Each structure stands twice: as C-alpha cells, then as structure tokens.
Amino acid sequence: MKIDYLIVGQGLAGSLLAWRLIQHGQTIRMIDDGRQNASQVAAGLINPVTGMRLVKAPDTDRQLRLARCFYRHLEGFFDQTFFFEKPMLRLLSDEKEQQRAHKRCQSPEYQRFLSTILPHYPGLHSPFGLLQQQQTAYLTTKPLLACLRQWFKKHGILINDRFNPADLTLSTPLTWRGLTVERLIFCQGHENLENPWFDYLPLKPVKGEILTAFSPLPLIDRLLNYGHWFIPLDKHMFKSGASFDRDTRDTQPTARVRQQLLAHLERVYPTAAAHAEIHQHQAGIRPTTADRKPFIGPHPVHKNIYIFNGFGAKGSLQIPYYSQCFIRHLLHNHPLPTDCDIRRYA
Ligand SMILES: Cc1cc2nc3c(=O)[nH]c(=O)nc-3n(C[C@H](O)[C@H](O)[C@H](O)COP(=O)(O)OP(=O)(O)OC[C@H]3O[C@@H](n4cnc5c(N)ncnc54)[C@H](O)[C@@H]3O)c2cc1C
C-alpha cells in the first residue's frame, strides 16, 4: 500500500498538520506512542504582546487571525469549544515597565492589543498598576487533542506505537513496515533530541510545571500575567504556571515548584492562592529552540524526510500559521518563511 505522508507524533504540531493535509486530500498515517506530551500539559495561552519589552512580533496579526480561524473550524467540526478569548491583565513590575506600557498604549500598532493602564484592580496586589491587554486567549489542548485522536483512530490513520528508525528503508519512495511512503514528517517535540536525522538542530528543551486548582471564593474573569500566569477556567477552577527549567528533562512534578507557583500567586492574588485546593500538578517539556524560531523543512540529504517542530512556549499561536506555510511548501513548492526554515543551520 502507498501513502502520501507518515507523521511521527500526535502532539499539537503533528495533529494540526495532519488535519490540514487530510483536508487537501492527502493520504496519511500517524504514529504516536500515546505518552503524555507537552501539548496535553500546556495551558494553551495566546498572548500577542510579550516579554519584558512588551513586544509584538511582525507576523503576530496574521498568526492570531489564522489561529482563531483554524480553532473555530475545529470547534464547528467537533461541536465543542476549545478556544476561549479573554482579556488579560498584566501586572506591571516597576516604574520602567510602567513607562514602557504607557508608550506602547499610545502606539497605533499596539492599540488593538493594549487598551489602558489601570492604577489598581479589586483583589489584586499590583503597586505599579496593570496593563489591560486584548486579543488574548487560551486553547484547551487536552480535549482538542482527544477529539482529534479519536477521529484519527476511527479513520484508521493513527497507529499507537513507537516509531523505530530501524523500520525505515531510505529510498525514493521510502518504505516503512510494508508501506510505501512518499514523505515522512517528524513532529516529535522535545524527543527530536534522539532523532538520527535531525539531532544536529539546536533544540533546547525547557521543563515546565503547571497547577490546576479549585478556589472556594469566586475568581476574577481575567487572565493574569505577573511573570507567571493565571487562567480562570470557570468561576472556581483555575490554572497557574508555568515554571521554566532548562536543566531537567524529566516530567516529574516537584514540591519545590508547586510551592514557588503558589507563593508567587499569593503575592499578587492572595484570595485565590490562600484557599486553593490543588487538583492536578503536571509537568512537561517544551520543544524550545536556540533562536526561538521553529524548525521546518526537508533534511539536507534525504529530501523526502522533513521536520515540523520547535514551537517552544508558543505552539497554540504558531502551529496554525506555520502548518499553513508548510502545506504550501509541500503541495505547491512555495518557499518557507526564512525564520523557520532549517536551512539556517545547513
Ligand atoms: C508546562 C507547559 C506549559 C505550556 N504552556 C503553553 C501555553 O500557555 N501556550 C502555548 O502556546 N504553549 C505552551 N506550551 C508549549 C506547548 O506545549 C508546545 O509549544 C506544543 O504543545 C508542542 O507540540 P508538539 O506537537 O511539537 O510536541 P509534543 O506535544 O511534545 O508532541 C510530540 C509527540 O510526539 C510523540 N513522539 C515523539 N517521539 C516519538 C516516537 N519515536 N514514536 C512515537 N511517538 C513519538 C510524543 O509521544 C508526543 O505525543 C507549554 C508547555 C508546557 C510543558
């Protein structure tokens, strides 16, 4: 039997890419070992204006538009909501950040994203005020991936197993376990470090821990960004996170980080933290890259083997956009955006 694409990994990257390829009439098989991945742990936060310098990357408008459109399409298909748009309050940390926020609010380029600075907000401790952000959202990745997984299974697309490089014969076309495969695409997240064809790329995995908790007191209906972040899932449940640890590569949650996350939340939002009952404490590994840009494109020698990876801490915003760019490259030979093209490491 002959297929167009074999995709390794059913995280957000592999799943959204497979979905787009199927919509373009391509025949697909996916292989995933079913372990908990970064995509299932992720908070799915989408925040177009980020960092100490409050910067919006040049492609953000387009990325946001495509993300909204793609997630709304999937919501329609599965008759379930995954993409929740909610304003965010960024708690300003000092006078310098306050001045920067004032400047940004006056810039026409940022006006769709930043509205105003509030001196205070009920229930929050923020001596330097709060910046009101718009166009912020979160994606509930776990139910979205569960729906996609079920659909892929039902249509005989998903193979629940581990991909072993020894099963592949390098030829044109490729052969794998009796299948003739036109193209192979690796979407392995941080496990790319063990990939014999793409391990030369500078992936810098970052472990993150995240809490899901219940608050007996009603929560404010805003996303919060205070170095860490806070997401109210409903009136009483919330998520808070996430830590950044560049030195550890296990997925074990730790008591130390749990304490740190709760202590930080308590400083800014005491009523939510003080009575919080922790329901879940998870850890995952972000597939972050040295230059913070994704890894997309064909292998320099084996042109029918590709990578689609490196979405770091921004998978929810970036994967819909870059999957579209990648599809245009695969199906119509359009050049890839230079920022993500792995030829930068040739
Ligand atoms: C704590 C935490 C919080 C985060 N918060 C956010 C956030 O708020 N917003 C945001 O946009 N992003 C966030 N992220 C980042 C987000 O998770 C990633 O950008 C995105 O999910 C990466 O998806 P992926 O498909 O590339 O990787 P993964 O989700 O890791 O998927 C890779 C898949 O490949 C499979 N695989 C690998 N090797 C093999 C093999 N040999 N055989 C079979 N299967 C294999 C794995 O089992 C896995 O299922 C967060 C991440 C973490 C850990």
Q: Choose one of 265, 286, 307: the last residue of a domain.
A: 286
What confidence score (pLDDT) does residue 57 get? Answer: 87
Domain limits at 172? 2-43+141-202+290-345
Give CA–CA dist 67/71, Å, rounded.
6
Give CA–CA dist 223/229, Å, rounded.
7
176 phi-psi bin (left φ>0, alpha ψ -120 to 50, beta other): beta
Do residues 284 and 142 touch, judged by C-beta distance below 8 A? no
310 CA closest ligand 1 atom index:
26
Ligand 1 geometric centre to CA of 145 (Å): 11
Ligand 1 geometric centre to CA of 162 (Å): 16
Domain co-membership, 266 together with 195 = no
Domain co-membership, 303 together with 281 = no
Domain co-membership, 190 together with 215 = no
Do residues 8 and 160 touch, judged by C-beta distance below 8 A? no
Give CA–CA dist 230/265, Å, rounded.
8
Mean predicted confidence (pLDDT) in 169-173? 93
Residue 58 belongs to some domain of the structure: no
14 CA closest ligand 1 atom index:
25
Domain co-membership, 212 together with 317 = no
CATH number of the CATH domain containing 266: 3.30.9.10
pTM beyond 0.85: yes
What confidence score (pLDDT) does residue 284 get? Answer: 97
Per-residue pLDDT tens over the stretch 230-278: 999 999 999 999 999 999 999 999 999 999 999 999 999 999 998 999 9
Residue 331 belongs to some domain of the structure: yes
Give CA–CA dist 257/255, Å, rounded.
6
Residue 49 belongs to some domain of the structure: no
Do residues 264 and 276 touch, judged by C-beta distance below 8 A? no
163 CA closest ligand 1 atom index:
42
Per-residue pLDDT tens over the stretch 297-344: 999 999 999 999 999 999 999 999 999 999 999 999 999 999 999 999
Domain co-membership, 247 together with 183 = no
Ligand 1 geometric centre to CA of 36 (Å): 9
Give CA–CA dist 245/208, Å, rounded.
6
Give CA–CA dist 277/216, Å, rounded.
9
Per-residue pLDDT tens over the stretch 206-236: 999 999 999 999 999 999 999 999 999 999 9
Residue 65 belongs to some domain of the structure: no
What confidence score (pLDDT) does residue 138 get? Answer: 98
Which token pair is 135?
């166009």
What confidence score (pLDDT) does residue 1 get? Answer: 93
Residue 128 belongs to some domain of the structure: no
Residue 135 belongs to some domain of the structure: no
Ligand 1 geometric centre to CA of 343 (Å): 23
Domain co-membership, 145 together with 196 = yes
Residue holding tokens 């014969």? 169
Instruction: Compute φ and ψ for 86, nearest 5 degrees.
Output: -150, 135
Residue 215 belongs to some domain of the structure: yes
Quote the number of domains for the chain: 2
Domain co-membership, 175 together with 146 = yes
Q: Which range has the top average pLDDT, 35-39, 111-115, 278-282?
A: 278-282
**Which of 30, 37, 71, 139, when mutated, tests ligand 1's pocket best, judged by the most ligand atoms within 8 Å of its CB?**
37
User: Greater confidence, 289 or 274?
Assistant: 289
Give CA–CA dist 148/146, Å, rounded.
5
CATH number of the CATH domain containing 39: 3.50.50.60
Which token pair is 244?
């950044």
Residue 32 belongs to some domain of the structure: yes
What confidence score (pLDDT) does residue 266 get? Answer: 97
Residue holding tokens 């044109």? 172
Domain co-membership, 160 together with 257 = no
Reply yes or no on whether the pLDDT at 52 is more than 90: no
Q: Choose one of 286, 303, 335: the last residue of a domain.
A: 286
Domain co-membership, 222 together with 279 = yes
What confidence score (pLDDT) does residue 285 get? Answer: 98
Mean predicted confidence (pLDDT) in 86-90? 97
Per-residue pLDDT tens over the stretch 100-159: 999 999 999 999 999 999 999 999 999 999 999 999 999 999 999 999 999 999 999 999
Q: Choose one of 286, 313, 333: the last residue of a domain.
A: 286
99 Cβ contact list (under 8 Å, min separation 6): none
Secondary structure letter of residue 334 according to DSSP? P
Instruction: Residue 293: name the closest of 312, 308, 306, 307 by CA.
Output: 312
Mean predicted confidence (pLDDT) in 10-22? 98
Give CA–CA dist 109/12, Å, rounded.
30
Domain co-membership, 195 together with 296 = yes
Return mean pLDDT, the chain. Answer: 96
Mean predicted confidence (pLDDT) in 79-101? 96
What confidence score (pLDDT) does residue 304 get? Answer: 97
Planar angle of CA 94, 97, 103, nearest 5 degrees: 145
59-65, long-range: CB < 8 A, 24+ apart: 59/321, 59/337, 60/317, 62/321, 63/317, 63/318, 63/320, 63/321, 64/135, 64/317
What confidence score (pLDDT) does residue 51 get? Answer: 87
Q: Predicted confidence band at 36 (pLDDT cuts at 50, 70, 90)?
A: confident
What confidence score (pLDDT) does residue 58 get? Answer: 85
Domain co-membership, 251 together with 187 = no
**Which of 286, 288, 314, when mutated, tests ligand 1's pocket best, judged by the most ligand atoms within 8 Å of its CB?**
286
Q: Which residues line ligand 1 (CB under 6 A)?
A: 8-14, 31-33, 35, 37-39, 41-45, 162-163, 187-189, 191, 208, 210, 241-242, 284-287, 309, 311-317
Domain co-membership, 196 together with 301 = yes
Name residue 293's beta-bridge partners: none
